[in-house]
Chain A
């Protein structure tokens, strides 16, 4: 603080806008804020809350790459959900048995097989109905792949809610009847491949498939309330899925506001605590300073990550607790800077004048010293945001993170324990890591730009 002229907010803005790095950082930060807003508005909160509930994700394709990789290796099957409303319904009654059928047409023009297919049915019945699933292929062959009764009704009015997946064992038995039609090797245990293969070349058979679901209803008021046919994609969404079928974009996009919350709260709180602590010590001098700086030294010597790990094991794991833990170790650096700056400022004439006028210490510190140091504090806040985000990511990566919500670190932990990179599921590891890195880059660029504006030493170098 050799020159104690105060930079006006206008000056700082003007100089910041001239710094290319700072602008780049601000742009990245802006896009992170937009991602946060997008997450809050467009990504359903329900899917975020259901992150730990595998049932919620059972209709999604498992471990498939993001949709934008489509075309890298030919055109990949898109995840297709055919709703009840899209089906063609027909009903007939023969000898008291009602036959309700629902059919969907799929225009299949992809170079890959679907990852799987799922039929979900909601039916209300009083007597056990029979369900039949037919797929008529573009070559005109009709594969009757499923024919079975639904579970017996329990006590009067019964609503059945079930899914028939391509893993269903009885499907294998049915498909075995069609093996002879193929002139090449086929595996009845892989319906998603067999049903969509040409009989001659065993390559993907393109064209229009008709999926028909038929129910034979025996009760008077029995009816099908809802049914869906899902064709499992080979690519999914913005960021792909993990091995539970979770849409990674939900966790990663929601990760942005969580990371910004942790980073900013910790950086702002610990910087101000450190600033006030250090300035007080430096201004008071003598024994107060000695004592306070020794305490500071003790905190400096703490092994931070091991203690953070111990804290999360013994006290608890929620992001709000983490914020507290990080503040506990985060104020140390700023306290040192605050003290040395206070030592310089307290001998300036205007501070001495206020002392002579009999102003209280608190008033001098809060009115005269700290406002002078705010620009430096802001620069420090910016550069210390990444540390908190990296800290949370590190704890989560070790499996000690907040178990209730997905964060970038936790997704990386899941990826690593599932062996994502060994299995080639690069998107699962790459994207969350890049988000952490990008956030860090943004704040460090902004912090460096601010530092070179408010720090007279580096300012001298610029001119």
Chain B
């Protein structure tokens, strides 16, 4: 067990390093843009204030410019913008504070339905919606995918197997967001079955809120399942075929256990760890795809917030979202690693790192 603790410690250290590096990369990419945007907005605001102030209207143009310049200088100093973004003081604000989820404030508080400008609250408001959509989609896709994957895995080379491979090829090469647009075209505009806008109309207190939510979620959900199913089934099939080739399966068959039981019970059980890993990684990594899917369907989750913040150049929100999505992904990987490490017999004996 000692080896496992050493392994766990090593992975936790690595987790912190990854988070720090990602954040540093994000901040250093956005740093120069932040300064330009913030300084620009300070200049705009000060110029407007000075020009509108009736008391200052008697000033000559040169005096006015000088006044604007001193005021801008003061504000820039107050905001800490006179130091470059990589100065220790500012890096502390942007990197260390963000790492402990002190994400700062945004000026665009209209992005939140509760009107908060605290980025932490803003993200916490959006996060459940993204988890709801992508979690449900992953759950449905993996449930169908595992069953279908085992089904075609047991019939290797059959017409079902070939159809499934073809489906996987197609669903992998189609842009998911484009499939989403087509779904809106057919289901919302041609057949008029589902709404094109995913935003639920009712208040959460309404008794039919859940039904309404599901109705609005149907189209993005259907799209995610349709495009995700192909590679899911294909992946499960791969592991099932591998397990079916092993000796212990042959032994079970020889012992007269029915083929159905061999396939769905024994083979699937042995293929479970990599399948479980895929479920976890897909869920954790869905934020990247969420930017596109949520934008197409107007689903007010984290991805949509990211897209809106790009439009507004709302840098603190961008940094916060990038960090939170990395955090979710890295922690998932960490848990998977620990689970593997815990069950890995080699770690219990020798203490050799598993990579």
Interface positions of A (Cβ within 8 A of B): 21, 293-294, 297-298, 301-307, 309-311, 313-315, 386, 390, 393-394, 397-398, 400, 412, 416, 421-422, 424, 426, 429-430, 433, 436-437, 439-441, 443-445, 448, 461
**Nearest chain A CB to B343 CB, angstrom units:** 21
A297-B18, A301-B22, A394-B175 known; A310 and B318 CB under 8 Å?
A: yes
Bound-state CA distance A252–B137 (Å) is: 33
Bound-state CA distance A216–B272 (Å) is: 88
Interface positions of B (Cβ within 8 A of A): 14, 17-18, 21-22, 25-26, 29-30, 32-33, 156, 165, 169-170, 172-175, 177-178, 181-182, 184-185, 189, 196, 241, 287-289, 291-292, 295-296, 306-307, 310, 313, 318, 321-322, 325-326, 329-330, 333, 355
Evaluate contact between B169 and A433: CB separation under 8 angstroms: no
A301-B330, A422-B189 known; A314 and B175 CB under 8 Å?
A: no
| Centre residue among B21, B156, B310 by max chain A CB count within 10 A | B310
5 closest pairs, A vs B, by CB? A440-B173, A305-B288, A433-B178, A421-B185, A437-B174
Contact of A398 among B182, B291, B333 (CB under 8 A): B291
Bound-state CA distance A320–B170 (Å) is: 28
| Centre residue among A294, A386, A390 by max chain B CB count within 10 A | A390
Contact of A298 among B17, B173, B185, B295 (CB under 8 A): B17
Evaluate contact between A398 and B292: CB separation under 8 angstroms: yes
Beta-carbon nearest neighbor of A409 in chain B:
B175
Bound-state CA distance A302–B184 (Å) is: 31
Evaluate contact between B355 and A293: CB separation under 8 angstroms: yes
**Nearest chain A CB to B176 CB, angstrom units:** 9
Residues in B with CB closer than 8 Å to A461 are 156, 241
Give how many A-B residue pairs fall within 8 Å (CB-CB). 124
Evaluate contact between B178 and A306: CB separation under 8 angstroms: no
| Centre residue among A303, A314, A443 by max chain B CB count within 10 A | A303
**Nearest chain A CB to B31 CB, angstrom units:** 8
Residues in A with CB closer than 8 Å to B355 are 293
**Nearest chain B CB to A256 CB, angstrom units:** 15
Evaluate contact between B173 and A397: CB separation under 8 angstroms: no
Residues in A with CB closer than 8 Å to B21 are 298
Evaluate contact between B181 and A314: CB separation under 8 angstroms: no
Bound-state CA distance A301–B22 (Å) is: 8
Bound-state CA distance A304–B290 (Å) is: 12
Residues in A with CB closer than 8 Å to B17 are 294, 298
Contact of A441 among B170, B241, B322, B333 (CB under 8 A): B170
**Nearest chain A CB to B338 CB, angstrom units:** 15
